[in-house]
Amino acid sequence: MLSIVEIISLDLPQLQPYRTLRRPEEHYRQGIFIAEGEKVVRRLLNSTLTVRSLLLTPHWLDLLRPTLESRVPLVYVAPKNVVEDIVGYHLHQGIMALGVVPPPVSLRSLLPTLPRSLLLAAVDGLTNAENIGILVRNCAAFGVQALLVGETSASPYLRRAVRNSMGAVFRLPVVPEERLDKVLRTLRKEFGVTVVAAHPGAAQRLDQSIHFQEDCCIVFGSEGEGISKKVLEACDTAVSLPMSNAVDSLNVASASAVFLYEILRQRSESASTTR
């Protein structure tokens, strides 16, 4: 049954997660995340993830009430200016949700459930929440089946990552890994997956006889540091993007879109020729 609480005090203890949006480490430790904006909240409500509460204006309560009745146990309602006082910054729409980060997925249990040919992505040293959010969205757009998040990367469930993914993180399996280099070697040796590093310094280019029709995992690093040596050594090969001499690299959000599009293009082309 939906419980609706009209906010009359900003000090309500249950509002603490909404008051600490600028302290993402607290949310990470508690295993919770914030979704903000109409589209992202709707996608959360349409997912299988647990939703603890919503913080919204009366307008959104009226609009979403039929969905909330069967999906959310608790809703906090307040005028937009009060909601902004709680979160500490201006909101465009006045709607947020508090969700629970799903339990970690085991790669060994996940792989047998995925259709072949496999397409996986991995991130190493990617600490910018906005970039990892966009990368998650790119993964969902181009058919990636799971994202492996290395120990030096930010969580895709940070608020800014969730926002920039536009809720795509709610439907993409995320596999946190404490030793990304080790799991990449396991993918190669035990599962026959080709592991390809997206690396700006690689001599081999994406447009030069690289075939992605078989099972593969593409590894992305940060624009500044790139992929670490130990992770790079765990890959089968490294591939760079063909670019004008005026630019030496793209940020990971842009580079991942190009790489993943090329894989989708090759696979679509291959499928059409075998019909």
CA distance 191 to 111: 9
Are residues 124 and 222 both part of a single domain?
A: yes
What was the pLDDT predicted at 275?
Answer: 58
Are residues 147 and 223 both part of a single domain?
A: yes
Are residues 28 and 47 both part of a single domain?
A: yes
CA distance 78 to 80: 6
> Which of 32-36, 39-43, 143-147, 221-225 is predicted least confidently?
221-225
Provide the domain count of the chain: 2
Domain boundary pick from 80, 100, 120: 100
What was the pLDDT predicted at 1?
Answer: 78
**Longest CA span, the chain:** 65
Q: What CATH number has the domain bearing residue 263?
A: 3.40.1280.10
Are residues 84 and 137 both part of a single domain?
A: no
Are residues 169 and 124 both part of a single domain?
A: yes
Are residues 26 and 66 both part of a single domain?
A: yes
**Could you give the count of Cα atoms lying within 13 Å of 152 in the half-sphere of its Cβ?**
16
Are residues 246 and 221 both part of a single domain?
A: yes
Backbone angles phi, psi at 129, to 5 degrees: -65, -40
Q: Do 53 and 97 form a contact (C-beta atoms < 8 A)?
A: yes
pLDDT mean over 19-46 = 94
Domain boundary pick from 74, 100, 126: 100
Domain boundary pick from 49, 81, 100: 100
How much is the pTM? Answer: 0.93
Are residues 187 and 58 both part of a single domain?
A: no
Q: Do 142 and 264 form a contact (C-beta atoms < 8 A)?
A: yes
Are residues 79 and 189 both part of a single domain?
A: no
Q: What CATH number has the domain bearing residue 69?
A: 3.30.1330.30
CB-count exposure of residue 84 (10 Å: 0-12, 13-18, 19+): middle
Q: In what order do the strands lie in the sheet with 95-100?
A: 3-6, 74-77, 51-56, 95-100, 32-36
pLDDT at 89 over 80: yes
Are residues 67 and 120 both part of a single domain?
A: no
pLDDT at 272 over 70: no
pLDDT at 250 over 80: yes
What was the pLDDT predicted at 274?
Answer: 61
Residue 150, domain extent: 107-273
The answer to whether the bond into 3 is cis (omega within 30° of 0) is no
pLDDT mean over 63-87 = 94
Q: Do 21 and 76 form a contact (C-beta atoms < 8 A)?
A: no
More confident: 5 or 24: 5
pLDDT mean over 91-111 = 94
Are residues 202 and 75 both part of a single domain?
A: no
What was the pLDDT predicted at 9?
Answer: 86
Are residues 76 and 138 both part of a single domain?
A: no
More confident: 109 or 209: 109
What was the pLDDT predicted at 209?
Answer: 65
Q: How confident is the model at residue 273 (pLDDT cuts 50, 70, 90)?
A: low
On average, the pLDDT of the chain sits at 93
